[in-house]
Amino acid sequence: MADSPLAAPTAPTFYFIGVTTGQSSSQRMFPLWMEALGRPEVVWRGVDLPIHADPERYRQVVAHIAEQPLALGALVTTHKIDLLAAARDLFGELDPYARRTDEVSSIAKEGGRLVGRATDPVAGGLSLDAILGVDYFARTGGEVLLLGAGGSAAALSLHLLQKPHPGDRPRRVVVVNRSAGRLARLRQMVEQFDTDIRFEYVQNERPQRNDELLAALPPASLVINATGMGKDTPGSPLTDDARFPQNGVAWELNYRGELDFLRQARAQRTARSLTVADGWDYFIHGWSQVISHVLAVEIGPEMLARLSQLAADVR
Ligand SMILES: NC(=O)c1ccc[n+]([C@@H]2O[C@H](COP(=O)([O-])OP(=O)(O)OC[C@H]3O[C@@H](n4cnc5c(N)ncnc54)[C@H](OP(=O)(O)O)[C@@H]3O)[C@@H](O)[C@H]2O)c1
């Protein structure tokens, strides 16, 4: 089928592997970015897979990119862990972050080999730093509630673990996840570090329990929705009765979808002096990191500002 995502490409092609890729701003943004980067011949192609897809589907997609000469590489969202678990042997090289977190968000080709990178620790880290500012945890005494223990939760944990200045590290991070496997995986990564951050792991999928964990946080704590709920799946990990911490920060990793968690946070923004952020900056950093890797182009601060503006124009 000519319009199948895995039909042989007829132009240099950049793949976007996600759940509902057709609804992403990236489809509109991509041609503008290629024009700005001097690569207008490169086209965008979305590959939609269900969450926790059959490993064979991941292998087919990765093998397709490896085998097709016009397939340049891919950005992977949501499937970062499952894809690597299913297709690790198809990669010629993995960068240190991919090895640490056992996930890939960027697939490029170098000398005929597939090179996987985890760009989220950098992209998510840049976004988080911009939201919090320097010395946030020393200034405020806030802690972190990380809802979800998937790829981006691991990346953000890694970012916090590697913060050189103590004031940028929270005292405590509580991580909540539905399946035990993802929590065990995250714990295994955290235990490779000699850290003063206390990680606590809670297996739970009941929003009422998350409300309780939220209520137990000190003021100024950071709450992150890294579950994909409100975009990949319906709802929010919290109930509408949840109370965000006074002077806290609520960060929804997505920028599109129903975004129920963002709505809940915005409803308390004034009353509880919340800082509320969505995933737009994360999206821009993530895409620029992966495009730089796949197309082997430098994207400096000036170009990043230009790309960011182009994306905002078609958001
Ligand atoms: N703005 C951006 O550019 C950007 C960048 C990165 C990520 N994101 C978004 O952030 C979300 C997470 O990404 P990801 O790569 O980390 O995905 P992921 O690897 O699929 O992780 C999601 C995790 O949340 C858990 N979860 C789902 N529903 C839950 C619930 N009700 N209670 C507790 N845990 C629950 C899942 O647990 P199970 O193991 O039980 O499935 C899974 O471990 C996605 O929607 C993605 O699109 C956005």
Q: What are phi and psi of 143, to 5 degrees?
A: -120, -170
- Say what the pLDDT of residue 142 is: 98
* Cα gap 304→86, rounded to integer Å: 33
* Cα gap 282→207, rounded to integer Å: 25
Query: Residue 222, Cα to own-chain centre: how many angstroms?
Result: 17
Ligand 1 atom having least distance to the Cα of 148: 24
- Say what the pLDDT of residue 4 is: 87
Mean of the pLDDT values across residues 219-240? 97
Residue of 26, 77, 186, 280 to mutate, ligand 1, most atoms within 8 A of C-beta = 77
Check residue 16 and report its DSSP letter.
E
CA of 35 to the centre of ligand 1 (A): 32
CA of 301 to the centre of ligand 1 (A): 29
Give the range among 1-5, 46-50, 89-93 with minimum mean pLDDT. 1-5
Nearest CA owner, ligand 1 atom 18: 150
Domain ranges of the chain: 13-118+282-313, 122-278
CA of 89 to the centre of ligand 1 (A): 24
Would the pTM of this model clear 0.95, i.e. be above it?
no
Domains 13-118+282-313 and 122-278 fall in the same CATH topology:
yes
Ligand 1 atom having least distance to the Cα of 205: 32
Three-state SS at 298: coil
Nearest CA owner, ligand 1 atom 26: 227
- Say what the pLDDT of residue 153 is: 96
As its CATH architecture, domain 122-278 has 3-Layer(aba) Sandwich (3.40)
* Cα gap 90→142, rounded to integer Å: 42
- The CB of 59 under 6 Å from ligand 1? The reply is no
- Say what the pLDDT of residue 8 is: 96
Amino acid at 92: G
Q: Which residues pair with 147 in a beta bridge?
A: 176, 225
Question: Is residue 3 predicted with pLDDT exceeding 80?
Answer: no
**DSSP, residue by residue, 148-213:** --SHHHHHHHHHHHT-SSGGGS-SEEEEEESSHHHHHHHHHHHTTS--S-EEEEEE---HHHHHHH
Q: pLDDT, tens digit, for every residue of 57-106?
A: 999 999 999 999 999 999 999 999 999 999 999 999 999 999 998 999 99
User: Domain 13-118+282-313: which CATH class?
Assistant: alpha beta
With 0-12 / 13-18 / 19 or more C-beta atoms within 10 angstroms meaning exposed / middle / buried, residue 209 is middle
Task: Check: CB of residue 282 under 8 Å from CB of residue 124.
Answer: yes
Residue of 187, 254, 260 to mutate, ligand 1, most atoms within 8 A of C-beta = 254
